[in-house]
Chains A and B, each alone.
Chain A
Amino acid sequence: MTPQTMFLIGIILLFASLPASMFGWRKIFTLSAMLGAGFLGAIAILWHPSGDGVLTLAAFHLGIFPVELGLTWLSSIFLILLSAGCILGLAHGYAYLNGHEDGLRSHGFFLALLVISLHLTVLARDALMLFFAWELMGFSSFFAILVERDEPTWKAAKYYLIFMQAGAAVLLTGIAMAYANTGSLRFNDWAGLPAITAFVLMIGFAFKAGFFPFHSWLPVAHPMAPSHVSGMMSGLLTKTGIYGILMILLCFQPPLASLYVFGAIALITALTGVFHALAETDIKRILAWSSIENIGIIGLGIAFAWLGRNLNVPAITLFGILGALLHSINHSLFKPMLFYLSGNVQHQAHERDINRLGGLQKKMPVTGGLFFAGSLAIAGLPFMNGFVSEFLVFLTILEGFRVHDVGFNIAAIVGLSGLAYVASIALFAFARMYGLAFLGEPRTDRAAHVKETTRSLWIVPSILAGLCLMGGMAGDYMLAWLHGFLPGSMLGSDIDFIKLLERFQPFRLVLVITLGFFLLMFLWRRRKVRFQRESTWGCGYEKPSAKMQYTGTSFVHPVEPIMNMFTGKQRELDFDSSYFPTRLSFVREARDRIQKRLIAPIVMAIHRFLDLFAGVQSGRTQVYITYGLVFLVAVLIWVIVGES
């Protein structure tokens, strides 16, 4: 079988899922979409082009524009990431929507469109196809969010759509500029783009990736989408932005200053993301903000990789690019997993606020255990994959201290301390998320009467957890595999890479020893000790209540001064000042300043502008006929005026 036939089969299967979803054949729809994604991903695994080569899969003309679909080393990596993510996302979506009835057909249709557009985005070898896929992705994900058609979901989806369109407009500008510069829409001809064009294109992609200050759509859109969609959006959709940025970076020689700026933006993105994740109390919003943090870490890896290229230190380039790519892959494993699991929680508890949850671990042991594994991964702790890629990004920056270049060293100081700070705050944020939602006593009735979900909702998260664990224990195999994709310009010397891989032997040894120690002590203790279950020690207090527990808000109180620099201070304390106050209320809210001050007004302005035309759509036949008449009259006048 040639890659071209395989591509054809994959595309046909993907498109076949569209009618299947329309007819409501959920099984067939899911299966054909999964198979299609699988076929496309298999092409990248089996025949990924080596070096700077391109594997053309299809080429045809659309009107006067030539359209080309194909693979490079970069798109191969992202294609594998996306198709694997789509397969698992579709499978979980199938399980998640069991029992839902309303609007499922259209949801399936747009889900299939989303899968198609994700694949087309990385397969596109020319700007036209890319832009088409980009727009399709925006629209299909907009509709895929809208399973629940209540007011907040509408609002969030509209916000998202406007945001995506703004990004697309920037991207289109960039494409037009590139066309003017190179006279071609094919990416192969785009080598040596002028910097300014490349920046515009990168900004367009940054909208989707969620880089600061274009990040504010993530925490708005993700919580409202059904969990499998938010998982896919967070894990996969944002990665197309990373893909685009990397692709553009490969097309031109970025000036040194711009790389510093890019690194700074990445660091600000990571810090903003992680502090909001620390401040939020809604599980899905925490996860969405953490996506922003992870995008920042990926960006930091990319920035240092290119800085290393600029300084001619191949080791830094190699580590940086590997770190960024590996973190992209890892993030697309643990983030969807956590989103799927938070969907399980929402499904059972009808609540996403960690201040109103608690004690879920005992009620939902499997979901909770998987969530713990996911928290380890997302906090970048050893044993799970998040650590390996964060480790690589750290190594990239630390490698920078071997080079003596003042500017670069200072960038490395800022990057290093920033990244370390982000990592430790992430530890804080995810200890908080898991600890408050799943441990302790249930804080509300809703949380108290939760039952474990059906088994079908554990399958995909457990697969993802397994992959995370494998990625954490056998990171070197993953790296060797990734290394096989890289072209010569990224490789550096083999010695660097061998040295990198050599670290993993002792690293694994330490982990195995840790596990050994743990099992030894744990099992010894379980055998020897007799346990007696009593209530938690509360100093003999007679009426302890679950409300006395620390909440998500009080948990972060000690770091509030620092947190407020990023999230803004929004607290209202209201009480009557008598000795025995009868009324007392305290609200603390984290709001994104960028969103509130900058983005929201713009979005609202666009919204209002569009509202001006809302009256046009009245829904009455007479009015539409009148429009037709008016149009005819206008044409008539135009013709007459033109004649004379």
Chain B
Amino acid sequence: MIVNILFILLMPFLFVGIVNKTKAIWTGRRGAPVWQPYVDFFRLMRKNEVTSRTTSFIFDISGALSLAAILAAAMLIPFGQYHALISFRGDFVLFLYLMGLAKFVAVLAALDTGSAFEGMGASREMSFTTFLEPAFFLVVASLIYISGAGTLSELISMHTVKLSSQWSLMISALTVIALFIMLLVEGSRVPFDDPTTHLELTMVHEVMVLDHSGPNFGFMLYANALKMTLFASLIAYFLIPWNMGIAAVTALYIGIMVVQATFLGMVESILPRVRMTRNPELVFVPLSVALLALTALIVLGIGGA
């Protein structure tokens, strides 16, 4: 339990830090230390806030509520060999809807400022993510189909995919691809969004928090980093073979997280962001991938519950 809490507290910004470091090294810079996002976070926590006269209570609660929802969602996620703090049958629905709550509040806060930029970001954020919910559900459904398990911790683990089956590789690969693309969208990374862009017109997630300052902004940053980490953690948890010792699993888990962060940094360094109008097509990928996996399973009649 303590380990879970430690992961929730420590992982997100380190993850972002590793991504940023990778990007810095790719471009030939030295870059900020990997713990820089933490330092930034504590700096924000100690600052005061400027809020817009246009805003109402929605803006005021947005940071805290988004972060609270994502923190609660984090409790449903397994880390390494440590199962989720809370898990019950069908918890993945709650997981996804807590994400939805965070997004809903963030979008409303953006609209609350009355800024044209933020409205634009809100609109884009909303439209990119409409395909994610079906994709996530289909991934979950295909795992339920194979294993008959009921909770997220049980489902998202390799042992649900029977290693003996020749299809297990395909299913695992498709699940990982779908989850990784969800990570890219939810974490608002390249090629969907460029978190380092300084031009408001091209931003998606970043532009929604243009008016947030101080702790409110810090909460938002934390929520976003945590969201990304949660998906990465799902992937890591999924990839770990289940029959290893605790030390090996932990080492492997941390290793996979670092590899993912590095990979993410690499993707951001070599891929340009795609044109805004193309994004909805790209978001369609995890959906079709998940659909493909599930249809294959059903048509072939694999799995036994």
Binding site for B on A (CB under 8 A): 358-359, 361-362, 365, 368-369, 372, 376, 379-383, 387, 391, 394-395, 398, 401-402, 404, 406, 409-410, 412-413, 416-418, 420-421, 423-425, 427-428, 431-432, 434-436, 438-441, 499, 502-503, 505-507, 509-511, 513-518, 521-522, 524-525, 528-539, 546, 548-550, 554-559, 561-562
Known contacts A421-B130, A436-B111, A522-B64: A362-B75 contact under CB 8 Å? no
- CB < 8 Å neighbour of A550 from B49, B75, B119, B211: B119
Which residues of chain A are within 8 angstroms of B87 by Cβ–Cβ distance?
A: 506
Which residues of chain B are within 8 angstroms of A436 by Cβ–Cβ distance?
A: 111
Give A16 to B97 CA distance when docked, in angstroms.
47
- CB < 8 Å neighbour of B127 from A435, A507, A558: A558
Q: Closest chain A residue to B69 by CB distance?
A: A514
Q: Is the CB of A531 within 8 A of B48?
A: yes
Query: CB of B94 within 8 A of chain A?
Result: yes
Which residues of chain B are within 8 angstroms of A380 by Cβ–Cβ distance?
A: 97
B119 to chain A, nearest CB (A): 3
Interface centre among A439, A513, A532, A557 (most CB of B within 10 A): A439
Known contacts A413-B291, A439-B112: A423-B133 contact under CB 8 Å? yes
| Residues from 96 to 153 in B contacting A, C-beta threshold 8 Å | 97-98, 100-101, 103-104, 107-108, 111-116, 119-120, 122-124, 126-134, 136-138, 140-142, 144-145, 148
Query: CB of B67 within 8 A of chain A?
Result: yes
Known contacts A521-B219, A533-B53: A404-B305 contact under CB 8 Å? yes
Known: A361-B112, A423-B100. 17 other contacts (CB 8 A): A362-B56, A369-B57, A381-B101, A391-B97, A401-B145, A416-B138, A421-B131, A421-B133, A439-B112, A440-B114, A518-B69, A531-B51, A534-B50, A536-B211, A537-B115, A549-B119, A559-B280
- Mask, B206-217, CB within 8 Å of A = 1, is 000011001110
Give A534 to B54 CA distance when docked, in angstroms.
9
Give A541 to B61 CA distance when docked, in angstroms.
27
Q: Closest chain A residue to B97 by CB distance?
A: A382
- CB < 8 Å neighbour of B113 from A401, A409, A440, A562: A440
Q: Is the CB of A424 within 8 A of B94?
A: no
Known contacts A379-B104, A517-B72, A536-B115: A398-B291 contact under CB 8 Å? no
Q: Is the CB of B94 within 8 A of A510?
A: yes
Q: Is the CB of B141 within 8 A of A398?
A: yes
Query: CB of B197 within 8 A of chain A?
Result: no
Q: Is the CB of B93 within 8 A of A439?
A: no
Query: CB of B299 within 8 A of chain A?
Result: yes
- Mask, B73-108, CB within 8 Å of A = 1, is 001100000000011111101100110110110011
Q: Which 8 A-B pairs have the closest CB atoms?
A: A550-B119, A435-B111, A440-B114, A517-B68, A558-B127, A518-B68, A514-B72, A536-B52
Q: Is the CB of A382 within 8 A of B127?
A: no
- CB < 8 Å neighbour of A359 from B54, B129, B276, B295: B54
Give A556 to B280 CA distance when docked, in angstroms.
13
Q: Is the CB of B123 within 8 A of A555?
A: yes
- CB < 8 Å neighbour of B138 from A417, A521, A522, A558: A417
Q: Is the CB of A510 within 8 A of B72?
A: yes
Q: Closest chain A residue to B218 by CB distance?
A: A525
30 A–B contacts, CB within 8 A, in A order:
A359-B114, A369-B57, A376-B101, A394-B137, A395-B93, A398-B90, A401-B141, A402-B145, A406-B299, A409-B298, A417-B138, A435-B112, A503-B90, A506-B88, A507-B94, A509-B86, A510-B75, A510-B98, A511-B72, A513-B75, A517-B67, A522-B61, A532-B48, A535-B53, A536-B211, A549-B119, A555-B123, A556-B123, A558-B128, A561-B280
Q: Is the CB of A533 within 8 A of B88?
A: no
Give A398 to B139 CA distance when docked, in angstroms.
11
Q: Is the CB of B57 within 8 A of A361?
A: yes
Q: Is the CB of A431 within 8 A of B145?
A: no
B130 to chain A, nearest CB (A): 4
Known contacts A381-B101, A406-B299, A431-B108: A499-B141 contact under CB 8 Å? no
Give A376 to B102 CA distance when docked, in angstroms.
11
Q: Is the CB of A361 within 8 A of B56?
A: yes
- Chain A interface mostly helix, strand, loop or mixed? helix
Q: Is the CB of A503 within 8 A of B89?
A: yes
Q: Is the CB of B137 within 8 A of A534?
A: no
Which residues of chain B are within 8 angstroms of A530 by Cβ–Cβ distance?
A: 48-49
Which residues of chain A are within 8 angstroms of B141 by Cβ–Cβ distance?
A: 398, 401, 412-413, 416
Known contacts A394-B137, A550-B119, A550-B120: A440-B111 contact under CB 8 Å? yes
Query: CB of B294 within 8 A of chain A?
Result: yes
- CB < 8 Å neighbour of B112 from A409, A418, A440, A559: A440
- CB < 8 Å neighbour of A558 from B49, B119, B124, B200: B124
- CB < 8 Å neighbour of A439 from B101, B103, B108: B108
Query: CB of B301 within 8 A of chain A?
Result: yes
Which residues of chain B are within 8 angstroms of A423 by Cβ–Cβ distance?
A: 100, 133
Which residues of chain A are within 8 angstroms of B305 by Cβ–Cβ distance?
A: 402, 404
Q: Closest chain B residue to A442 by CB distance?
A: B114
Known contacts A413-B138, A424-B133: A510-B93 contact under CB 8 Å? no
Which residues of chain A are within 8 angstroms of B76 by Cβ–Cβ distance?
A: 510
A560 to chain B, nearest CB (A): 9
Q: Is the CB of A537 within 8 A of B126?
A: no
Q: Closest chain B residue to A530 by CB distance?
A: B48
| Residues from 38 to 54 in B contacting A, C-beta threshold 8 Å | 47-54
Which residues of chain B are within 8 angstroms of A428 by Cβ–Cβ distance?
A: 126-127, 130
Q: Is the CB of A394 within 8 A of B122?
A: no
- Mask, B188-209, CB within 8 Å of A = 1, is 0000000000001000000000
Known contacts A413-B295, A435-B111, A537-B52: A387-B97 contact under CB 8 Å? yes
- CB < 8 Å neighbour of B54 from A515, A522, A536: A536
Known contacts A409-B145, A510-B76: A529-B49 contact under CB 8 Å? yes
A139 to chain B, nearest CB (A): 41
Known contacts A440-B113, A502-B88, A555-B122: A417-B94 contact under CB 8 Å? no
Q: Is the CB of A427 within 8 A of B303?
A: no
Q: Is the CB of A395 within 8 A of B68?
A: no
- CB < 8 Å neighbour of A402 from B53, B127, B144, B200: B144
Which residues of chain A are within 8 angstroms of B298 by Cβ–Cβ distance?
A: 406, 409-410, 413
Q: Closest chain A residue to B305 by CB distance?
A: A402
Give A340 to B57 CA distance when docked, in angstroms.
22
Query: CB of B261 within 8 A of chain A?
Result: no
- CB < 8 Å neighbour of B56 from A368, A421, A517, A562: A368
- CB < 8 Å neighbour of A435 from B68, B108, B215: B108
Which residues of chain A are within 8 angstroms of B136 by Cβ–Cβ distance?
A: 420
Query: CB of B287 within 8 A of chain A?
Result: yes
Query: CB of B232 within 8 A of chain A?
Result: no
Q: Closest chain B residue to A428 by CB distance?
A: B126
Give A425 to B126 CA distance when docked, in angstroms.
9
Query: CB of B230 within 8 A of chain A?
Result: no
Give A425 to B133 CA distance when docked, in angstroms.
10
Q: Is the CB of A536 within 8 A of B113?
A: yes
Q: Closest chain B residue to A561 by CB distance?
A: B280
Give A460 to B214 CA distance when docked, in angstroms.
39
Q: Closest chain A residue to B126 by CB distance?
A: A428
Give A418 to B57 CA distance when docked, in angstroms.
34
Query: CB of B58 within 8 A of chain A?
Result: yes
Q: Closest chain B residue to A556 by CB distance?
A: B123
Q: Is the CB of A441 within 8 A of B122?
A: no
Q: Is the CB of B126 within 8 A of A427?
A: yes
Give A533 to B213 CA distance when docked, in angstroms.
12
Which residues of chain A are within 8 angstroms of B53 by Cβ–Cβ distance?
A: 533-536
Query: CB of B65 within 8 A of chain A?
Result: yes
Give A208 to B287 CA distance when docked, in angstroms.
35
Q: Is the CB of A537 within 8 A of B211?
A: yes
Give A561 to B131 CA distance when docked, in angstroms.
14
